[in-house]
């Protein structure tokens, strides 16, 4: 289980632009949850992910992962259990390295390389099998530099690479936002497959309300650092896109937008 307890987060503290985003924010994520998170810009969605991953600190509060306090743990140490895919496809892969080198790098996350070879030829067949499920022909282009691939191809690779090591949590930060509709559908289907097959606990921030409704077992709507909607299980199954859009519009009107 992942738990955020009484989290406080300020931006620009001590200045005229000081802003309190989270004021004693609490969230419990049960093992096996696949949470879709929606909300307007500035509602705290990505900041929440960054605090969980250790990319930014919280002023106070606790972050518990499987009962262990990881509040002060460095980001690279949390990465042993967390895989993350970003909105920008270029952030999950290394463009100057080949497909083979990228896959090998992900395969060895957290391991000590020493002076050994960066790629293990005995693993090439495994990498090709992983890539073949994408139906993008990448398994035949192992020596191609990733920078030469399309955004969708790179995002598909980033998603595969994020879960190559035995992680427990998958963090998805608008990972389909920069993709065309057809590629986004493919990435979402692959996401659901990976989460189910590897039995991961996932948190997905998205602006696509249909994806938020169709995928996962829990729906969270953020507004000004608070969860204004939290539906799980049967309650979540009964929600339609129109319900979420109505609440979203009501909040926008209240805020003068």
Write down the mean pLDDT value for the chain: 93
Question: How many percent of the chain have pLDDT more than 70?
Answer: 95
- Res. 95 pLDDT band, cuts 50 70 90: very high
Q: In the prediction, which pLDDT does 255 show?
A: 65
pTM above 0.85, yes or no: yes
Q: In the prediction, which pLDDT does 113 show?
A: 57
Q: In the prediction, which pLDDT does 115 show?
A: 45
End-to-end CA distance of the chain: 37
């Amino acid at each position: 289980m992942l738990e955020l307890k009484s989290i406080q987060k300020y931006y620009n503290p001590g200045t005229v632009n000081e802003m309190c985003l989270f004021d004693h924010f609490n969230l419990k994520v049960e093992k096996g949850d696949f949470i879709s998170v929606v909300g307007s810009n500035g509602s705290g969605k990505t900041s929440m992910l960054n605090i969980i991953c250790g990319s930014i600190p919280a002023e106070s509060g606790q972050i518990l992962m499987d009962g262990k306090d990881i509040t002060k743990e460095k980001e690279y140490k949390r990465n042993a259990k967390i895989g993350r895919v970003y909105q920008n496809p270029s952030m999950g892969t290394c463009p100057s390295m080949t497909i083979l080198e990228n896959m090998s790098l992900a395969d060895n996350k957290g391991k000590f390389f020493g002076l050994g070879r960066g790629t293990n030829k005995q693993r090439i067949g495994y990498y090709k099998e992983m890539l073949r499920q994408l139906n993008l022909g990448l398994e035949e282009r192992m020596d191609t530099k990733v920078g030469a691939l399309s955004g969708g191809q790179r995002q598909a690779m980033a998603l595969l690479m994020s879960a190559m090591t035995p992680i427990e949590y998958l963090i998805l930060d608008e990972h389909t936002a920069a993709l065309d509709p057809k590629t986004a559908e493919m990435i979402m289907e692959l996401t659901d497959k990976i989460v189910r097959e590897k039995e991961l606990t996932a948190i997905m921030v998205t602006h696509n309300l249909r994806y938020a409704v169709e995928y996962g077992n829990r729906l969270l709507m953020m507004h000004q650092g608070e969860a204004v909607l939290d539906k799980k299980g049967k309650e979540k199954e009964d929600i339609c896109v129109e319900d979420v859009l109505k609440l979203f519009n009501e909040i926008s009107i209240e805020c003068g937008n």
